[in-house]
Amino acid sequence: MPIQILMPALSPTMTEGNLVAWLKEEGDNVVAGEVLAEIETDKATMEVEAVDEGVLGKILVPSGTEGVSVNAPIAILLEEGEDVSSIKADIQSTVSTNPKSLQMPHGENESLVKEDVLITSDTSRDDKNGLNPKNFSTSLSTSRDNGRIKASPLARRMAKHAELDLAKIVGSGPNGRIIKADIDQLLSDDKPSEAVVSKPILERPDTLSNVNYDAIPNNGMRKVIASRLSESKQTAPHFYMTVDCNIDALNLVRKELNEKVEGTKISVNDLIIRAAAIALKRVPEANASWTEDATLLYKSIDISVAVAIDGGLVTPIIKNAGAKGLQQISSEMKDLANRAREGKLLPEEYQGGTFSISNLGMYGVKEFSAVINPPQGAILAVGAGEERPIIKDGAVSAATLMTCTLSVDHRVVDGAVGARFLSVFKGLIEDPLTMLL
Amino acid sequence: MTTSKYDLVVIGAGPGGYVAAIRASQLGLKVAIVERESVGGVCLNWGCIPTKALLRSAEVGHLLNNLEAYGFSADNISFDIKKIVERSRKVAKQLSSGVSHLLKKNKVAVIIGSASLKKKSGDEFNIEVFQEDEKYLNLKSQNVIMATGARAKSLPNIVPDGKDIWTYKEAMIPNTLPKSILVIGSGAIGIEFASFYNDLGVDITVVEVLDRILPAEDIDISNFALKSFVKQGIKIKTSSMVKSLKTSKGKISVQIETAAGSEEVSVEKVILAVGIIGNTEDLGLENTSAEVSNGQLVVDKWGATNEPGLYGIGDLVGAPWLAHKASHEGVICVERIAGVENVHPLDTSNIPGCTYSRPQVASVGLTQKLAEDAGYKVRIGHFPFIGNGKAIALGEMDGFVKTVFDSTTGELLGAHMIGAEVTEMIQGYTVARTLETTESELLNTVFPHPTLSEMMHESVLDAFDRAIHI
């Protein structure tokens, strides 16, 4: 019997992904373990390997398709002696019409908008009398049926009334079904983190309708950046503290290390990661997260480092950075950054982290304030090291200064704690030998 | 003396205990169950099942007394109370041996005797089992589930003696049929006995301290039931209390304080049905940190007591005192012990309650009053038996189906039914509530014609001003 190849879930939270490219063509022989296709999730591109051997009989979801639901069939693998005609027609038809095309011609934007409207109505099936046969049949015919959201009728209606997006709610009922209790829970919580209130922007403002523009469909990463950072700015009360660090000594130490130790290329950023890790070890209160019930003080220091990549950014994590030496931090960072740019990070390599560093020094940015990466409690924004005049003992002299700004979630980290962290950090940066221990 | 070690010891083999033991065995635990009387507990031996057998006899009697309505006639209709009781005992026995067989099939060790907890050694409970006050077995286990059930509560001035003043147990096995009975308490147990004996021609008086009978039910149900029982000849005194009882020459003279004043009633027997109290004694609970309060073992939503490894389920841990509640608690408790994933605590708002009197009463969820008190804006549906074809064909035209909906969300908050066979129908609404359907799904469900269940549909239609047959 032909084997359906399904869209894999690359992480527990993944509900849909983009099929970036097929590496095999229809008719190709496939052995178990061979890479068939590349799938893009929120932040990473992963390879889909064949589990069985056979002939790739039919590609159901073409390269460059966005929003493919997890577990939707993406191709049919034929076993020995089977041919394409043994594939049921219905499998082909249900799927190939489903996902939206990534390269959407401008003129098709209208249909995208319409489809979204339908999906919205899928979550609601009532009018005043509680009956609406029209919506009923509409919802059954929407392409969304493949990725059907499991929710009780009552939960659906309550979510509709509260304008909650079911797709963003984790159900606690049987098989993950969204039930009344889940909606009640969300409505009683003040934090709208999980239940992001969805007022889909279905209509473009009229003023824009005559303006020329290119509509670039939001990829998974864009959507995650948008939702997480909005959530952060809307829920975490940010405040900011800035220090100037003299990095003349740091530059000297770095130069010496790189010259004396063969094959080593420690960057300023590596030293910053190391200094931040030690500072968090000394001021553990800054390594914390807010939850409704408790402030979580992390036992491990996992530093997320923002890496710009094509079309967005990722934050690969130096795990347990407090226990790692400079050389290890340096080589791990290089590997993570390279793979991040290739989109080859594993989900666990960028999901999590307890503290973040964002360094825009290489772009010549003098200083900036970063948005906290939730649920973390703080992020350190690092500017460029540049020569500036300083006054020492009443005399003006030159020094290389680097401005660092700590953004802090005031719910977990108070001013004094943040200040202590920054002062330890500054001490380490300005006297770099102390961080080599 | 033998000492045996188990993963789980269940004390009490009623519907809570035996279901828990079987589920535990299915999950791979080595289980023993200790029972001091008969496997199946009160439910099977002295409660739900034998009373249903009695009530079935009463129903047959009622039909025989109304044969003309169906075109039959018969002379010299008579019955023998001994044979009615005999049948009831036979039914109980058959089921009890069925449960024994199930336990055996599931490799649960059944130990007959009374169990008592001794001091723990480490994480392990030491359980001593006695037979006729002789210690004869030691059990060891890290987990113990107490499922010892409950017994009839006494009143300070009225203590059952088993001769003139009965509890449910004596009321179930009369040697002769009394001429008159006073029933104290109008909950499910009191009303079922009142209905049973009334159908057999006994002169019945019911005394209820609250202002209505079946006080846990919706007020419309209470009122309808009152009218129906009064019409059948049962004397009902609400807002009344029994002040004193005096027995002389086979007659009990009862002083009743009613709203209108004091009055005296003379009856042959009294049935005390004012609720039940947990069997918490002689279990060795004092050797643990478990807490007993108001005659109940105190547990959390998973059945856990304050003592690690010690659990309690069923009547022992409190209301609602229902076999099906005990069984569900047993399963949940065992699944927690065995580490099954995705176990949810029992939703007590969704346990149906049934009273098997004539007319029957069945309900689930909130009454209209409780719903309104909870702040819901309600929509009420109502449909009478007289509007249902099957009910008329059966000759069962007394009763109605009431539904309570939240007008905002369409949630079915509660359903309340009185009339023929409603106890068999309530599960429909219970399934609907468990699946969290709204009125929309119920309205779109096709109910078969002609059935009594069509009233369930019509009641929903009525709540949304769409009833067809009324």
Ordered strands of the B165-166 beta sheet: B165-166, B269-272, B180-184, B203-207, B235-237
When pLDDT is averaged across residues B392-402 and rounded to a whole number, the result is 97
Q: Tell me the chain B residues in contact with residue A157 when contact means C-beta distances shorter than 8 Å.
A: 409-410, 438
Interface touch B439/A130, C-beta < 8 Å: yes
Closest-approach residue (CA) in chain A for B433: A154
**Which residue from A152, A126, A95 is spatially nearest to B431, judged by alpha carbons?**
A152
Q: pLDDT value at position A145?
A: 38
Residue carrying structure tokens 């021609």: B201
Q: pLDDT value at position A12?
A: 64
Interface touch A161/B409, C-beta < 8 Å: yes
A157 — contact with chain B (CB < 8 Å)? yes
Least confident segment among A188-202, B123-137, B224-238: A188-202
Interface touch B409/A157, C-beta < 8 Å: yes
Closest-approach residue (CA) in chain B for A153: B437
In order of A77, A93, A208, the CA distances from A28 in angstroms are: 10, 22, 47
Mind telling me how many Å the CA of A132 is from chain B's nearest CA? Answer: 9
Interface touch B441/A153, C-beta < 8 Å: yes
What is the rounded CA–CA span in Å between residue B354 and residue B55?
Answer: 13
Mind telling me how many Å the CA of A43 is from chain B's nearest CA? Answer: 30
Segments in A32-179 forming alpha helices (H): 89-96, 109-122, 133-141, 153-161
A393 torsion bin: left (phi>0), alpha (psi -120 to 50), beta (else)? left
Secondary structure element (H or E) that encloses residue A308, with its range: strand A307-309
Q: Tell me the chain A residues in contact with residue B436 when contact means C-beta distances shorter than 8 Å.
A: 152-155, 179-180
Closest-approach residue (CA) in chain B for A174: B342
Interface touch A174/B342, C-beta < 8 Å: yes
Q: pLDDT value at position A86?
A: 60
Q: pLDDT value at position B344?
A: 87
Partner residue facing A154 (CB), from B342, B344, B436: B436
Catalytic residues of B, by residue number, are: 449
What is the rounded CA–CA span in Å between residue B342 and residue B19?
Answer: 19
Show the beta-strand stretches assigned E in A192-306: 238-246, 288-290, 295-297, 303-305
b/e A276-302 (16+ beta carbons within 10 angstroms → b): bbbbbeebebbbbbbeeeeeeebeebb
What is the rounded CA–CA span in Å between residue A431 and residue B7?
Answer: 61
Interface touch A154/B439, C-beta < 8 Å: no
Q: pLDDT value at position A109?
A: 39
DSSP 3-state assignment of B184? strand
DSSP 3-state assignment of A436? coil
What is the rounded CA–CA span in Å between residue B390 and residue B428?
Answer: 18
CA atoms within 13 A on the CB side of B389: 7
What is the rounded CA–CA span in Å between residue B393 and residue B400?
Answer: 16
Interface touch A153/B466, C-beta < 8 Å: no
When pLDDT is averaged across residues B417-434 and rounded to a whole number, the result is 97
What mean pLDDT value characterizes chain B?
A: 95
Burial of residue A95, with CB atoms counted within 10 A of its CB: 0-12 exposed, 13-18 middle, 19 or more buried: buried
Is-above-0.95 flag for pTM? no
Please determine, for the modelled complex, whether the ipTM score is greater than 0.85.
Answer: no
Partner residue facing B409 (CB), from A129, A131, A154: A154
Interface touch A158/B409, C-beta < 8 Å: yes
The answer to whether the peptide bond before residue B384 is cis (omega within 30 degrees of 0) is no
Q: Which residues of B touch A (CB under 8 A)?
A: 342, 344, 408-411, 435-441, 443-444, 464, 466
A130 — contact with chain B (CB < 8 Å)? yes
What is the rounded CA–CA span in Å between residue B427 and residue B364?
Answer: 9
Q: Tell me the chain B residues in contact with residue A172 when contact means C-beta distances shorter than 8 Å.
A: 344
Q: Which amino acid is at A429?
A: I
What is the rounded CA–CA span in Å between residue A330 and residue A361?
Answer: 17
What is the rounded CA–CA span in Å between residue B411 and residue B399?
Answer: 24
Number of residues assigned to chain A = 437
Say which residues have a Cβ less than 8 Å from residue A37's Cβ, sequence separation at least 6. A19, A20, A21, A22, A23, A24, A47, A48, A63, A74, A75
**Which residue from A108, A92, A91 is spatially nearest to A100, judged by alpha carbons?**
A108
Residue carrying structure tokens 């589920």: B23
In order of A158, A384, B56, B179, the CA distances from B175 in angstroms are: 58, 100, 19, 13
Closest-approach residue (CA) in chain B for A126: B440
Q: Tell me the chain B residues in contact with residue A126 when contact means C-beta distances shorter than 8 Å.
A: 410, 438, 440
Say which residues have a Cβ less than 8 Å from residue A250's Cβ, sequence separation at least 6. A268, A271, A429, A430, A432
For chain A, the 3-state helix, strand and coil shares in percent, each to the nearest 5, are: 35, 25, 40
Residue carrying structure tokens 């003309």: B68
Question: Contact B19/B102 with Cβ under 8 angstroms?
Answer: no
Mind telling me how many Å the CA of A155 is from chain B's nearest CA? Answer: 8
Q: Tell me the chain A residues in contact with residue B460 when contact means C-beta distances shorter than 8 Å.
A: none
Q: Tell me the chain A residues in contact with residue B376 when contact means C-beta distances shorter than 8 Å.
A: none
CA atoms within 13 A on the CB side of A239: 11
Partner residue facing B440 (CB), from A131, A155, A161: A131
A158 — contact with chain B (CB < 8 Å)? yes
Q: Which of A126, A154, A187 to mutate to test the interface with B (most CBs of B within 10 A)?
A: A154
Instruction: Quickly list DSSP for B363-378.
Output: EEE--HHHHHHTT--E
Closest-approach residue (CA) in chain A for B412: A154
Model confidence at B396, pLDDT cuts 50, 70, 90, reads very high
Ordered strands of the B412-419 beta sheet: B353-355, B360-365, B412-419, B400-406, B378-384
A178 — contact with chain B (CB < 8 Å)? no
Q: Is the pLDDT of residue B25 over 60?
A: yes
Q: Which amino acid is at A22?
A: W
Interface touch A154/B464, C-beta < 8 Å: no
Supply the DSSP symbol for A293.
S
**Which residue from A155, A151, A160 is spatially nearest to A127, judged by alpha carbons?**
A160
Q: Which two tokens stand for residue A80?
A: 């020995």
A137 — contact with chain B (CB < 8 Å)? no
| Cβ-defined contacts of A170-178 (< 8 Å, 24+) | A170/A194, A172/B344, A174/B342, A175/A150, A176/A150, A177/A150, A177/A151, A177/A152, A178/A149, A178/A150, A178/A151, A178/A152
Query: What is the residue-level pLDDT of chain A in tens, covering all 437 positions?
Result: 677 888 877 766 677 888 888 888 888 888 877 888 888 876 677 778 787 788 888 888 888 888 888 878 888 888 777 766 666 544 444 444 344 333 333 433 333 333 333 333 333 333 333 333 333 333 333 223 346 888 999 999 999 998 888 888 888 888 788 999 889 888 886 544 444 444 333 444 444 445 677 778 777 778 888 888 998 999 999 999 999 999 999 999 999 888 888 877 899 999 999 999 999 999 999 999 998 888 999 999 999 999 988 878 889 999 999 899 898 999 999 999 999 888 888 888 988 899 999 999 988 999 999 999 999 999 999 999 999 999 988 899 999 999 999 999 999 999 999 999 999 999 999 999 888 77
What is the rounded CA–CA span in Å between residue A373 and residue A225?
Answer: 10
What is the rounded CA–CA span in Å between residue B267 and residue B81?
Answer: 19
Partner residue facing A179 (CB), from B342, B436, B464: B436
Residue carrying structure tokens 């500017």: A383
Interface touch A154/B411, C-beta < 8 Å: yes
Say which residues have a Cβ less than 8 Å from residue A367's Cβ, sequence separation at least 6. A242, A381, A383, A403, A404, A405
A105 — contact with chain B (CB < 8 Å)? no
Interface touch B410/A125, C-beta < 8 Å: no
Q: Is the pLDDT of residue B328 over 50?
A: yes
Closest-approach residue (CA) in chain A for B444: A131
**Which residue from B144, B128, B204 is spatially nearest to B20, judged by alpha carbons?**
B144
Interface touch B438/A161, C-beta < 8 Å: no
In order of A99, B3, B37, B130, B337, the CA distances from B126 in angstroms are: 63, 9, 21, 13, 18
What is the rounded CA–CA span in Å between residue B205 and residue B267?
Answer: 9
Partner residue facing B440 (CB), from A153, A174, A179: A153
Say which residues have a Cβ less than 8 Å from residue A332's Cβ, sequence separation at least 6. A318, A324
Supply the DSSP symbol for B411.
B
- Torsion angle (degrees, nearest 10) of CA A344, A349, A353, A359: -40
- Find residue A355's DSSP bridge partners: A303
Mind telling me how many Å the CA of B440 is from chain A's nearest CA? Answer: 5
What is the rounded CA–CA span in Å between residue B47 and residue B171?
Answer: 11
Residue carrying structure tokens 């209208």: A110
Secondary structure element (H or E) that encloses residue B109, with its range: strand B109-112
Say which residues have a Cβ less than 8 Å from residue A263's Cβ, sequence separation at least 6. none
A126 — contact with chain B (CB < 8 Å)? yes
The answer to whether the peptide bond before residue A73 is cis (omega within 30 degrees of 0) is no
Q: Tell me the chain B residues in contact with residue A154 when contact means C-beta distances shorter than 8 Å.
A: 409-411, 436-438
- Residue B257 CB: number of other CB atoms within 10 A? 17
Closest-approach residue (CA) in chain B for A132: B440
- Find residue B378's DSSP bridge partners: B406
- Residue B111 CB: number of other CB atoms within 10 A? 21
